[in-house]
Amino acid sequence: MSLEAILPPERALFAVPGGSKKRVLEFFSTFIAQNTPSLDSQEVFARLIGRERLGSTGIGNGVAIPHARSPHCNGPVAAFLKLAEPIDFDAIDGEPVDLIFVLLVPEEADDTHLALLSQVATVMNDADTRTRLRRSTTQHELHETLLEAIRRQGS
Phi, then psi, of 135 in degrees rounded to 5: -85, -10
CB 60 within 8 A of CB 67: no
- Residue 97 to residue 78: CA distance in whole angstroms: 18
Q: Which helix (H) or strand (E) holds 140?
A: helix 139-154
DSSP 34-79: HH-TT--HHHHHHHHHHHHHHS--EEETTEE--EEEETT-SS-EEE
Integer Rg of the chain from CA: 14
Q: Does residue 113 have an active-site annotation?
A: no
Kindly name the residue from 67, 72, 113, 140 that is annotated as catalytic: 67
Active site residues: 67
